[in-house]
C-alpha cells in the first residue's frame, strides 16, 4: 500500500514537473516568437529605408504603393485611414507618385464622381520593383521548407496577428495615444 502511494506520488511529481517544463518551454517559445517578430519588423523597416535611399523615393510613398499593390485602387481618404496620415499629406504623396509615374488617378467605374489611385504596373516593373521581387523570392524559398499544413498554420497565424495589430492601432488612434 505504501509502495503504491509512493509510486503514485512520483507519477504526480513527474507529471507536474513535465507540466512546469512544458510551461517553461511555451514561455520560451513565446519570448522567441516576440523577439523574431521584432526582428522581422526591424528588417522590414531597414529594407524599406534601403530601397527608399537607393531609388530616391520616400519611404512613405513606397508604403502607399504597397497598400495599392495589396488592396487595389483606393481613394485618398481610405489611403489616409490605412496609413494614419492626414488627407492633406496623402494628397501630397499621391501627387508625387503620379508625377513619378508610379501611380495614376482614375475615375471609379461604380461612381464617376469618385477618384481612385491605382498602380502603374509598367512603371513598377523595373526599378524598385526588383527589390520587392527579391524579397518575395526569399519568402517563397523559406516557405518551400514547410509542409502545406505548416504553411497554412503560419498564414492563419499571420492574418490573425495582423488583424489584431490593426485593431490595436485603431484603438490607440481613437484613444489619442
Write out pLDDT tens, residues 48-67.
999 999 988 999 999 999 99
Per-residue pLDDT of 95-137, as tens digits, reads 999 999 999 999 988 888 899 999 998 877 767 778 888 999 9
**Closest among 165, 143, 30, 26 to 84, alpha carbons compared:** 165
Tell me: the pLDDT tens digits for 3-23?
776 667 676 776 666 666 666
66-75, 119-128, 133-142, 156-165: segment of lowest average pLDDT: 119-128
What pLDDT, on a 0 to 100 scale, did the predictor assign at position 176?
73
| 169 pLDDT more than 70 | yes
Q: Which residue has the cell 481613437?
A: 174
pLDDT, residue 19, reads 64
Q: Is it the case that residue 35 has pLDDT exceeding 90?
A: yes
Which grid coordinates belong to 95?
501627387
Determine the CATH number of domain 57-122: 1.10.10.10
pTM (two decimals):
0.75
- Cell of residue 35, nine digits: 523577439
Please report the pLDDT score of residue 44 as a whole number.
Answer: 93
Q: Where are the alpha helices (DSSP H) in 56-111?
A: 59-71, 76-83, 87-100
34: left (phi over 0), alpha (psi -120 to 50) or beta: alpha
Label residue 159 by pLDDT band (50, 70, 90). Answer: very high
Identify the pLDDT of residue 6: 67
Phi/psi of residue 35, each to 5°? Answer: -60, -45
Domain ranges of the chain: 1-55, 57-122
Mean predicted confidence (pLDDT) in 66-89: 93
Q: Give the pLDDT score at 49.
A: 94
Q: Are 116 and 110 in contact (CB under 8 A)?
A: no
Quote the mean pLDDT of the chain: 89
Amino acid at each position: 500500500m505504501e509502495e503504491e502511494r509512493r509510486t503514485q506520488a512520483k507519477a504526480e511529481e513527474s507529471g507536474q514537473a513535465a507540466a512546469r517544463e512544458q510551461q517553461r518551454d511555451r514561455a520560451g517559445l513565446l519570448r522567441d516568437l516576440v523577439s523574431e517578430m521584432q526582428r522581422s519588423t526591424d528588417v522590414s523597416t531597414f529594407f524599406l529605408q534601403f530601397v527608399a535611399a537607393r531609388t530616391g523615393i520616400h519611404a512613405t510613398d513606397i508604403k502607399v504603393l504597397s497598400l495599392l499593390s495589396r488592396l487595389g485602387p483606393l481613394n485618398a481618404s481610405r489611403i489616409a485611414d490605412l496609413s494614419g496620415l492626414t488627407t492633406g499629406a496623402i494628397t501630397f504623396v499621391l501627387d508625387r507618385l503620379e508625377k513619378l509615374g508610379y501611380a495614376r488617378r482614375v475615375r471609379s467605374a461604380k461612381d464617376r464622381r469618385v477618384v481612385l489611385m491605382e498602380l502603374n504596373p509598367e512603371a513598377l516593373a523595373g526599378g524598385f520593383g526588383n527589390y520587392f521581387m527579391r524579397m518575395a523570392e526569399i519568402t517563397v524559398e523559406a516557405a518551400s521548407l514547410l509542409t502545406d499544413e505548416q504553411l497554412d498554420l503560419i498564414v492563419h497565424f499571420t492574418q490573425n496577428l495582423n488583424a489584431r495589430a490593426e485593431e490595436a492601432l485603431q484603438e490607440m488612434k481613437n484613444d489619442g495615444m
